[in-house]
Homo-oligomer: A and B are copies of this chain.
Amino acid sequence: MASNGAVDSKTHKFNPHFTQAVINATGPKASPRVRQLTTSLIRHLHDFARENELTVDEWMAGVELMNEAGRMSDDRRNEGQLVCDIFGLESLVDEITYKLASDAADEPTATAILGPFWRKEAPLKSMGDTIVSGFDDKGDRTWMHGTVTDFLTGKPIEGAVLDVWHTAPNGLYEQQDPDQPDMNLRGRFTTGKDGKYNFYCLRPVPYPIPYDGPAGKILQALDRHPYRPAHIHFILTAPGYKPIITQIFDRNSKYIEDDAVFAVKDSLIVDFKPFQGDPKADFELPYDFKLATFEDAKKHSVAGTTEESAA
């Protein structure tokens, strides 16, 4: 027994040949990457089971949670993803995949998780349009604007597509809420030669992630709250540039230190500024996005960085 009460996998009392037998079943035609991932997955799964002397009932409860998550998932909801999110897995994989992004000033915009609420084919909008088509009288109206630039040259990027989505003031995304118009608070904007963008949205609010499924059950068992700090989601794409999936977070939002899905990074925290002189907006939100070309992204891939802010 290890000091924490768990069984040490190296000295356990179970069949010592079993895990290797399962790994050895993999055939010669499996791709090297599939072989690597599944070998590692089998080792970790088996070590997890042995170290904790996992019982059949506990394992089956896990299977039932997984199956329930799958049954709840469709094109409007991804509960399997949400379960990963509350264990920090999406944020970690985001860090691993986009390790180029860091908090340094001369780096491209940091990334953050996609989350389960993005939808394909958000409405194409013109600069200066609003993405609000419902609840427009209930939220803090916000004018967001900025420039999309190349992080190295500082030059504006033409043809960058900014895909934006956020929750309504009731804390729900439109696909969760029958009272909102389809595609409310979503839109795609394409930059011109100046790389600039601007649009109207609402100031988002903190909201609980869906609590009626396996993720909610797990949070409850863990004595954890389900809230995310107020944030706006983006996907930035541009010809020749590495796409960025990210979120920006309202500095004054509750849960900014305590995101249920561990996505907050310092460089993504922004300030909503009271705004006067525009009858369509109560707040102004200036924010610039910096992209890296595929080539630069490869060249500048950070190695050895261990100083990023903890989630």
Query: Which residue of B5, B97, B260 contacts A56 across the interface (Cβ within 8 Å)?
Result: B97
B222 touches A305 (CB 8 A): no
Q: Which A residues between 229 and 281 are near B, CB-CB below 8 angstroms?
A: 258, 260, 262
Of all chain B residues, which has the CB nearest A113? Answer: B56
A295 shortest CB reach to chain B, Å: 19
Residues of B within 8 A of A114 (CB): 56
Min CB–CB distance A135 → chain B (angstroms):
30
Q: How far is the CB of A81 from chain B (nearest CB, A)?
A: 5
Cβ 8 A contact of A71, one of B49, B70, B260, B310 = B70
Interface size class of A (residues with CB under 8 A): 35 or more
Q: How many copies, total?
A: 2
Chain B residues, Cβ within 8 Å of A153: none
The main secondary structure of chain A at its interface with chain B is helix
| Across-interface contacts of A158 in B (CB, < 8 A) | none
User: Do the beta carbons of A49 and B87 come within 8 Å of each other?
Assistant: no
Q: Which residues of B contact A305 (CB under 8 A)?
A: 13
Please indicate the chain B residues that have their CB under 8 angstroms from the CB of A66 in the complex. 66, 69-70, 80
Q: Given that A18-B262, A87-B41 are known contacts, is A67 also in contact with B80, CB under 8 Å in the complex?
A: yes
When distances are taken between beta carbons in the complex, the residues of chain B under 8 Å from A78 are 63, 67
B25:A222 contact, CB within 8 angstroms: yes
CB contact between A44 and one of B30, B48, B218 (< 8 Å): that residue:
B48
Name A222's contact: one of B6, B26, B50, B92 (CB within 8 Å).
B26
Known contacts A18-B310, A38-B221; 16 additional CB pairs below 8 A are A13-B304, A13-B305, A13-B306, A15-B308, A15-B310, A15-B311, A18-B262, A21-B310, A22-B87, A40-B52, A44-B47, A54-B96, A57-B97, A59-B84, A67-B79, A71-B71
A→B interface (CB under 8 Å): 4-6, 13-19, 21-22, 25-31, 34-38, 40-42, 44-60, 63-64, 66-73, 78-81, 84, 87-99, 114, 218, 221-224, 258, 260, 262, 302-306, 308-311
